[in-house]
Amino acid sequence: MDRRDDIPELRGKDRLSVLGRVPLVAETPEEGLDDPTTPVARFFVRNNGLLPEPVEDPETWSIMVDGEVEHPLRLTLAELKSRFAVKTFRMVLECGGNGRSFFTPAAEGNAWTNGGVGCAEWTGISLADVLRAAGPKPSAVYTAHYGADPDKSGSRDAASISRGMRLAKALEEHTLLAFAMNGEPLPFLHGGPLRLVVPGWPGSLSQKWLTRIWIRDREHDGPGMTGLSYRVPVDPISPGSSVEGIPLRILESMPVRSIVTAPADGATYPAGTRQIAIRGAAWAGDDTVVRVALSVDRGKTWVDATLEPLCNRYDWARWAVSLAVPGDGACEIWARATDATGRTQPLAPENWNPNGYGCNAVHRVAITVGPAI
């Protein structure tokens, strides 16, 4: 990882760690995610290809909705805004490989720690409203998404990525055709002027520079939808083992996760400090976080944090707690979230898979009280 300033696209970004340059991938340190609404400057970057050509007038950007619909549509951004209700939600967007670097043995892909996530205020049109206007046929079961970005070789003959989702997810109110982020026009680096935001599911579904929604009568088979792409074993396998012949499922709702955003890993406190204020964020894909618990004795005992109310569904749960530390010296703070179905974060990485999706082990932050030994 690096934080070099020689990447023009990352100018204006704050402390992001570069995981890949072609395509461009950069994550946010956990302490950079301490705001209820993640600033654009600290929002992670995940590209699958190269950047497309910017459009001179964003209002003329257009998308097509076709396939298994009664009324195929081609709409400009200006027409979307004038024809459909505009909505704003604060929602988590998370890379499917967030946490990948914690798997042993190492999995394929960018070595995300916990920073492939952010929670922004997204403004746009519910995809459901547009799909209803197009009139899905009884045969419609799946979406297919396309963007303007060329693949990483620079070719425009094939999509850099083209994923899709079950129609039920596309028809959720919170699945947006987004054109603004934190109250400002959607930045080009984050898919402007128009992108999908599919909350709770892997960020790869949230197609940037959106040009087409193709409604299909079968599961989509575009780049990013076949083989091991965004698929995990139905049942756990031994780390490092082959998945040949093993049943796989598409990764949809992301697992429950919590991060400590303050203090930062490696923080020090004056000798004699016995109470430390801890805060962070938690989220759970399609589900709701009902508990975040903290431990300073390696999981022997846990103290519940206080959860703040959500702005809306798919917002992350901000939490805070004051923890007693046992004495001077080094210790670890562990943060563990539980969702409404009872699923909780494992103490160590579980559900290893070759591409490293969905790793959600507890977040551990090391601190020192008094002089470092």
Q: Look at residues 64, 334, 89 and name the one whose alpha carbon lies nearest to residue 200.
A: 89
Q: Look at residues 124, 121, 125 and name the one whose alpha carbon lies nearest to residue 183.
A: 121
Question: pLDDT tens for residues 157-200?
Answer: 888 999 999 999 999 999 999 999 999 999 999 999 999 999 99
Q: Would you say the CATH fold of 257-369 matches that of 8-250? A: no
Q: Which amino acid is at 106?
A: A
Q: Give the residue-averaged pLDDT of 338-353.
A: 97
Question: pLDDT tens for residues 277-310?
Answer: 999 999 999 999 999 999 999 999 999 999 999 9
Question: pLDDT tens for residues 96-108?
Answer: 999 999 999 999 9
pLDDT number for residue 156: 80
Q: Which amino acid is at 92?
A: V
Residues in the chain: 373
Q: Look at residues 328, 284, 289, 324 and name the one whose alpha carbon lies nearest to residue 308.
A: 289
Q: Candidates 3.40.50.300, 2.60.40.650, 3.20.20.70, 2.40.37.10; correct CATH number of 257-369?
A: 2.60.40.650
The residues, any chain, with a CB within 8 Å of residue 276's CB and separated by 6 or more, are 263, 269, 322, 323, 325, 333, 367
Q: Give the residue-averaged pLDDT of 6-17.
A: 94
Q: CA-CA distance, 249 to 229, in Å (whole number)? A: 10
DSSP E strands in 32-109: the ranges are 45-46, 62-67, 73-76, 86-94
36: its two tokens: 């209820």
The residues, any chain, with a CB within 8 Å of residue 168's CB and separated by 6 or more, are none
Task: Just give the CATH number of 8-250.
Answer: 3.90.420.10
- The residues spanned by each domain of the chain are 8-250, 257-369
The residues, any chain, with a CB within 8 Å of residue 244's CB and separated by 6 or more, are none
> Helices then strands (H, E): number in the chain?
3, 23
Q: Give the residue-averaged pLDDT of 16-42.
A: 98
